[in-house]
Structure 1
Amino acid sequence: MKKILLCSAALAVALGACAQQNATAVKYAKYITVENAKKHLTIVASDEMEGRETGKPGADRAANYLAGEYKKLGLLPANKGSYFLDVPLSVTSFGVNSLSINGSKLTQGKDFSVMSGSGVQTVTAAEIVFIGYGSEAEIKDVNLEGKVVLVIADAKPGADASVSPMRAFGRLAAMLGQKKAALILAVGKVNPVAPAGGRMTLKADNPRPVVARTPVLTISQPVADNLLKASGKTYEQLKAAPATQTAKADVAVDYATKTIDAKAVDIVAMIPGSDPKLKDEVLVFSAHYDHIGMEPEGTPGDRINNGADDDGSGTVGILEIATAFMKAKKDGKGPRRTILFLGNVGEEKGLLGSEYYSEHPVFPLANTITDLNIDMIGRRDPAHKDSPDYCYLIGSDKLSTTLHKISENANNTYTKLAVDYKYNDPKDPERIYYRSDHYNFAKHNVPIVFYFDGVHEDYHKVSDEVSKIDFPLLVKRAQLVFYTGWDLANRDERPVVDVTNDMPANRN
């Protein structure tokens, strides 16, 4: 009887401690508020931030604002006294410096536009080869090496409808490149807007040489008529009865691929752990603060992609979570483990900021127990139009059974959201698991949970505005992340990595 009484007493103490811990978590979760989230997001997703494109002034302004807010809260700079981790980048772009046909200098955006290409070269030619629609039969036996090729950009009548015209033309351009054509001129609708920046990558110590690809330019029909002047036929006449033929024409083009250095920053703010035995272990809350910037000059209407949901919502979400943890710390309830709040840059350019962090971490990845990554938590997708209290969770069970149980328990105990694991399927055609910053932790065997609201009608559009954010839902989802993090930061044991990840290893 005495033994039973002792066991009962021990159980009562344990249950009491658990209830007290839960009550403490609830107390501080209430510091994640609609008012604060709205205040911060109205600034982060304002026009002043110009869409927060990586490497542009708007992203720098956003980074400085966020670092300033972390400093006001009392978080410490995590990178040798700085709230920033420099992310060195390279931007590679292809452009046409000049193009003239039969002595007439052409204007980009009016007479021609650039579709693709790479390399550095000046091409001059005294003739062009018209290849009609450029079917394999039309060009099979034609020598195009070093030639300027004129092709009809429209889909060929009777072409396979299951293949998009863009994909079909891409195949044709690749085939013409293999035949070593010097320049491809496609007659079609000229894009009046100059092409966007270029391809951004992490700066390599030993960059690979640029691989030359045959330039593809779209030219207008009047330009095509001028090009064909010596043939005595118009473009429409040739298009009506397409057949491969050569025509005299003077063509000169100068083009180049350029690579320039760029720099952006990850935001790194920390709360040191309070437990001497656990403070060297680190829990990461991450969200990317960058977005896709502005539409090119000349685009009518609103040009600024404010990115209120993507990922302004996650960015203010982790800022709110930091507010709750700092309030607890000031009350003597600080996290036992160290917490890093990581604002990633370059997510929209290919997860660049998180990739750089994973290769140059401010805390060893071996000591990083989990990454809780938020990317879009302020809206609902069409599948949940009539059931708003939901959240997609991705990856919680991919590396750790412990983490998955902690995640499930946090929701079942506190927020009771409808958790949707649709995108957790290895066969998910959207491949969402690979499309946000948690991936660069998971590939290093760090357990992760990714919180996501789904793809809605304003995704990557100028209409992703603050006015469309459901702030009570954003707060509830952020509180779920907080509760999960509260357990992770304060429990005795870190999540065990005991699962063989069933996701395909390659994100490409």
Structure 2
Amino acid sequence: MRSIFPLCALALLSACSQQTSNLNDPSDINFDESRFRQDIKTLASDEFEGRAPTTKGEQLTLDYLSDAFAEMGLEKPNGKDYLQAVPMVSYTASEQQTVRLGDLELKHRQNVVLGSRHDVAKIDINNAPLVFVGYGINAPEYQWNDYQDLDMTGKIAIILVNDPGFARPDSGKFNGKAMTYYGRWSYKFEEASRQGALGAIIIHDTKPASYPWSVVENSWTGAQQDLVHNSDEQNQRVQVEGWISYDAATTLFNKTGLSLATVSDRAAASAVNLPLNQTATIAFKNKAEYANSYNVVATLPGNSRAGEHILFTAHWDHIGVDANKEGDQIYNGALDNASGTAGILEIARQFAIQAKNGHPLARSLTFIATTGEEQGLLGSRYYAANPIYPLDKSVAVFNLDSTNVYGRTTDYTIVGKGKSELENYLVDALKTQNRTAKREKHPESGGFFRSDHFSFAKEGVPAVFAGGGSEPIDEATAQYKAAMKLKMKGCYHNVCDEYREDWDLSGALEDLAIFYQAASVLGNNHHWPGYFKGTEFNALRPANDNIEQASK
């Protein structure tokens, strides 16, 4: 057993002592590395088969998490178990596909990945006109509409990834290098659907996407889960959606007499749509299967304001198994996100111990291990639309996704820093470790929109996605980090995201202490954090307007 606090270097001993005294109880808070490590190792083991929703791996995961919360003595919100059913449908497109854009024959997985979110046995599209719609954005607040005066009925939209701010960060358009929600793939498919398009295909480009083509191939093939929608929503959705590689798209545009690079520059300067004077023929078999997946939800009641909840979230799911791959077929998802799930378990244990020792928080803590994050934040979206506890009584959300396995740092990353007052609790806690909060190094990747906290932010609940850092604590840690980064290169959404015995988890343990301390302070005061003026969510729960909101 290793406590987090002995991990501090001698130069930081005084800071560590201060941290201990500032926690919920004067006694030492003992984040157990061996237990934390074992949780990651178990959840990421081959036995759990990559933890895909609605599979054997899900059932093993649900049992493991439920047993852990039961051992802590946490309450079952529904009185029967820790599970919230999330109705899902899995769509599986055949590996044998005919995809022809103009006279360009494309190969499934190699340079195109397509699927359908419709319960139909076959997709059969013939001679559908292709239209380049720039970034596929309709944003009145930016005076931007790539669909202006365009009837998309029966047509397929070809769309650039990210948003215009990435291509021209100094133009003042959108949010510069930092991706807005309009840059997310999910928005682009939704907007194409609202425009009445038959299909939508995004042009993959590694830099603005922030991930290589292999992530598209691995994440968008096989069974694709979605929430079960009503018939009106389902009928509105594009019939076919997916991705085309940049090289294939370049060839397609060349064949139309256009340059992809040139029209991309034009699309970054102003809203644009251009008919490509080419048509698409797309055919593949499709299958839809319905089943419930589950969020795992456990509550530690507060002692005086139990109706007010601080939420901790981490997604338990990953990609599962791909039987079409040669060699290793299991996407174990150790870093993403067995590590975050293990993190909320360890935080829950410490709060449960403190409560048993007579030191509960005033407010309740609710821990939610969500399903379907990898398929579009499905579990968190479902909870936000169907909350077990009212969202207007949900004080804040702390989200853990891919915790730090690269050793201790002098800084701490808050993704999308500058959104809400909730961040101040993390900043104050960081002082006890002599660390500073910084924004993520690559805001163009749209990290704020890519994990479960975003589902709550959209509803006005202050939510943060934070942890880790980019500055190693010392030279030895820097050398270890560089070597481990090489070992794990290319492992995001790949089969090599496996548990490693040589991971240095000391930085992750320090991060758990930051979350613990921030929640401890917020859990015992009357503050209702809000979103800062100028952010997307300020109108939903403004900062400073509700600091002393009374408990009801």
TM over 0.5: yes
Aligned to 2:114: 116
Instruction: Please list the CA deviations of residues 76-104 of structure 1 after superposition, one character each: whole Å capped at 9, or x if unmatched.
Output: 112343200001111223337899xxxxx
- Alpha-carbon offset, residue 331 of structure 1: 0.7
Match of 1:399, SS?
A: coil
Q: Contact conserved, 1:268 with 1:341, CA < 8 A, in 2?
A: yes
Shift of residue 345, structure 1, vs aligned partner: 0.8
Question: Which piece of structure 1 moves more, 328-337 or 389-398?
Answer: 389-398
Deviation string for 1:190-223 (max 9, x for gaps)? xx99x83243211012252375559999xxxxxx
Contact 2:409 2:469 in 1 (8 A): no
Counterpart residue number, 2:506: 472
- Provide the secondary structure at the position in 1 that maps to 2:437: strand
Q: Does residue 1:360 correspond to 2:382, yes or no?
A: no
- The residue number in structure 2 matching 1:239 is none
**Deviation sequence 1:464-505 (CA, Å, 0-9, x none):** 2221532222211111111111111112x1233252353599
2:492 aligned partner: 459
Contact 1:396/1:447 (8 A) holds in 2 = no
The superposition leaves residues 256-276 of structure 1 with CA deviations (integer Å, 9 ceiling, x where unpaired) of 33322122100100001111x
**Inter-partner Cα distance in structure 2 for 1:293 and 1:358:** 25
Point out where structure 2 has 5 or more consecutive residues left out of the alignment: 1-17, 99-106, 127-191, 193-197, 199-216, 245-281, 471-484, 539-552
Q: Partner residue of 1:91? A: 90
Question: Secondary structure in 2 aligned to 1:353?
Answer: helix
1:494 counterpart = 2:494: no
Q: Could you tell me which of 208, 214, 227 is aligned with 1:202? A: 227
Preserved CA contact (<8 Å) 1:291 1:310:
yes
Q: CA RMSD for the aligned pairs?
A: 4.0
Shift in CA distance, 436/113, structure 1 to aligned 2, threshold 3 Å: closer
Number of residue pairs matched by the alignment? 368
Given that residues 25 and 483 in structure 1 are in contact (C-alpha distance below 8 angstroms), is that contact kept between their aligned partners in structure 2? Answer: no
Structure 2 counterpart of 1:29:
29
**Distance verdict in 2 for CA 1:329–1:122, change over 3 Å:** closer
TM-score normalised by structure 1 residue count: 0.64
Which structure: larger Rg?
A: 1
Where 2:93 maps in the other structure, the secondary structure is strand
2:459 alignment counterpart = 444
The CA distance in 1 between the partners of 2:329 and 2:358, in whole Å, is 47
Question: Once structures 1 and 2 are overlaid, which stretch shifts more, 462-471 or 447-456?
Answer: 447-456
Q: Deviations over 1:371-391 (max 9, x none)?
A: 0111111323xxxx9x74543
- In structure 2, give the amino acid aligned to 1:83: Y
Aligned mates of 2:34, 2:113 — CA distance in 1:
46
**1:181-330, aligned counterparts within 5 Å?**
196-206=221-231, 207-209=233-235, 211-212=238-239, 255-275=284-304, 278-294=305-321, 296-330=322-356
Q: Deviations over 1:417-473 (max 9, x none)?
A: 3433136x8xx2111000110111111111122124479623222222221532222
Provide closer, same or farther for how the CA distance between residues 373 and 123 of structure 1 changes in structure 2, counting only shifts above 3 A: closer
Instruction: Call closer, same or farther: CA 1:71–1:430 in 2, change over 3 Å.
Output: same
Match of residue 481 from structure 1: 515
Alignment gaps of 5+ in structure 1: 1-17, 100-107, 126-173, 175-179, 181-191, 218-252
- More displaced 10-residue stretch of structure 1: 323-332 or 445-454: 445-454
- Are 1:307 and 1:464, in contact at CA under 8 Å, matched by a contact in 2? yes
- After superposition, the Cα gap between the structure-2 partners of 1:61 and 1:120, relative to the gap in structure 1 and judged at 3 Å, is closer
What secondary structure, in the 3-state scheme, does the structure 1 residue paired with 2:493 have?
Answer: coil
Equivalent-residue separation in structure 2 for 1:73 and 1:124 (angstroms): 54
Contact 1:390 1:418 in 2 (8 A): yes
Residue type of the alignment partner of 1:274: N
In the alignment, the residues of structure 1 paired with residue 242 and residue 344 of structure 2 have an alpha-carbon distance, to the nearest angstrom, of 44
